[in-house]
Every structure is written in structure tokens, then in C-alpha cells.
Structure 1
């Protein structure tokens, strides 16, 4: 990897581990094996590098989710796959953790990738829910946007509960609870019930 790519990757890791406020340019440079001159050749400072790193992280997270939402299988199976996907739970969400950082929230350029990522996720989940309703897999009564908001909030809240407990189980309980709620909203169908187990 070239120096710019290493700096971005290092910033991604350190932002996830420490958050923006506790992430120093020196720590990023050390992890990247790049000097100060190299950093300032490619970026205008810590904020510019952090914004680039946050955008990259948000893009990677969206791509991972889209791989599940756009996969084969029924819409409900795709939602269940998203909820049950493997995650590094105790590290927290690589995007969501920045909602707790006052400096990120105060800077529109740093906050934008976080806000855009969650807006995309809610919209995409709502699309899959609506697809399930159109195909007759999910009852038409629930509002797709409200269901999507609940799913996203469950995942993010699950991270918080798990990190507070120092144990992944609260996250698993939360996401499995969401799976059970989605299943309860499903129109009875043997195919979904068999494949979702």
C-alpha cells in the first residue's frame, strides 16, 4: 500500500478503537509507518484525514450490508441474515460509535458520513421490508419506514448494551429479538419459516 492508503487504513482503525477526540495525528502516522510530511502532503490535517477515513468506513459498511440485502433468497431471509451477520460486537459499530464523539457531531464534514450512512441503511432496510410486503411475505399493516427504524435502532442499541456489559450476549439477544418480531409479522409461509431457522 502507498502512504496515503496506509494513512487512511490506520485512521480507520484508530477512529474505531479510540474515537476522533482521542486519535492523534502522531498515532496515525506511527501505525501507518508514515511521517508527518507524508500525512500533510496527502491531507490538510487530522480533520481532512479523519473525514476521508470515515467516508471509507461508511462505504465499506454499506457494501457489506448491501451484499446481504441484494443477495438471493426472500426479502425476509435477507433481513434475518443482516440481523444475524457476524460482527465485532465489543468493538462497537465502526460508524455508530462516532455519534458519541462531541467533536464529530460538532463538525458537519465529520458528521456527514455518519449521518449519510444511517440514512442509507434506514432507506435500504425499508426497501427490503416493502419488498417483503409486496411479495406477500410480510403483513401490509406495518409501516416499512418504522420497521426499518426499529431494526437499525435495535442493532445500534445492541452494540451499546454489549459494550456496557463487556459481553456479546446482550447484542445477540437484541438482534434475535428483532428476528422474532419480524417472524411474528410474517404471513405464515413454510418456506420462510424453514429457511429462517
Structure 2
């Protein structure tokens, strides 16, 4: 891994663990093994590096989701595969955790990839649910956008509840509940 990639990977990890304020240039340099000169050779400063790291986390989230959404099976099977995919529930979502970081949310550039990622996820789920409704798999009365929004909210809320309870089982129960609500609409 080259220096630029080590800087991005280290910043991703630190943002996930500590948030924006806790991710100092010194911590990034120590974790990545890169010197200050290398950091500023590749990035204009901490905000530029954080933006690259957030963008990378967002792209990874989308890629992993798309692997499940584009896989085989019915719409409900693909959504189930996504929601039940192995995750470190106690660590939380690397993109979702940023929504609780005021320094990220008040900076339009840092906020944009977070906002766009959740919009993409909601739209992608809504498209799948609309497909399921159109092909007769799901009840015609199911609202794809409202249901997709609820699924994303339960997913992110599941992380929060699991962290609060220090139990991954809470996350699993949240996914079970969301899928129970969804499968009630299977025809």
C-alpha cells in the first residue's frame, strides 16, 4: 500500500474510532507511518484527507450493499442478505457514525458524501421494493420509499442500540424485527 493509501486507510479508521476532532494530523501520521511532509504532499490538509477517507468509506458501503442487492434471489431475499450480512455491530457504521459528529455535519463538503450515501442506499432499497411490488412479490399497498427509509433507519438505529447495550444481539433483533415487518408484505 502506498503512502497516500495508508493515509486514507488510517484516517478512515480514526474517524470511525474517534470522530473528526479526535482524528489529529499527528494521530494520522502515527497510524499510517507517514511523515508530515508526505501527508501534505498528498493532501492540502486534514479536511481534504478526511473528505477522501469519508468518500472511500461511502464507496465501500455502496459496493458491499450492491453486492447483496445485485445478487441472486427474490427482492426480499436480497434485502435480507444485505441486512443479515456480517457486521461489527458494536463498532457501528463507519458512515452512519459520522452523522453524530458535529464537525462533519456542519461542514458542507464533509457532510455531502454522508448525505449522498444514505440517499443512494434509500433510493436503491426503494427501487428494489418497487421491483418486488411490480413483479407481485410484495403487496401493491407497500410504499417503497417509506419502507426503504424505515429499513435504513432501523439499520442505523440497530447499531446505536447495540452500542448502547454493548450487545450485538440487540442489532440482530432489530434486523429480525425489520425483516418481520417486511415479510408481512410478501404475497
TM-score for the superposition, normalised by structure 2: 0.99
The root-mean-square deviation of aligned C-alpha atoms, in Å, is 0.6
Specify the alignment match of 2:148 in structure 1: 148
Superposed displacement of residue 142, structure 1? 1.4
Count of paired positions:
187
> Partner of 1:71: helix, strand, or coil?
coil
Partner of 1:14: 14
| TM-score when normalising by structure 1 | 0.94
Q: Look up the match of 1:159.
A: 159
4+ residue segments displaced more than 3 Å? none
Q: Report the equivalent of 1:193.
A: none
What's the counterpart of residue 107 of structure 1? 107
Gaps of 5+ in 2: none
CA distance in 2, matches of 1:60, 1:45: 23
Aligned residue for 2:181?
181
Mean Cα displacement is larger for which, 58-67 or 79-88?
A: 79-88
Separation of aligned partners in 2, 1:19 and 1:76:
34
Q: What's the counterpart of residue 85 of structure 1? A: 85
- What CA distance in whole angstroms lies between the structure 2 residues aligned with 1:102 and 1:19? 9
Partner of 2:169: 169
| 2:51 is the counterpart of 1:48 | no
Rounded Cα–Cα distance in structure 2 between residues aligned with 1:24 and 1:92: 21
Tell me how far apart the structure 1 counterparts of residues 10 and 3 of structure 2 sit (CA, whole Å): 10
Q: Distance in 2 between matches of 1:99 and 1:148?
A: 19
Unpaired runs of 5+ residues, structure 1, are 188-197
2:9 match: secondary structure: helix
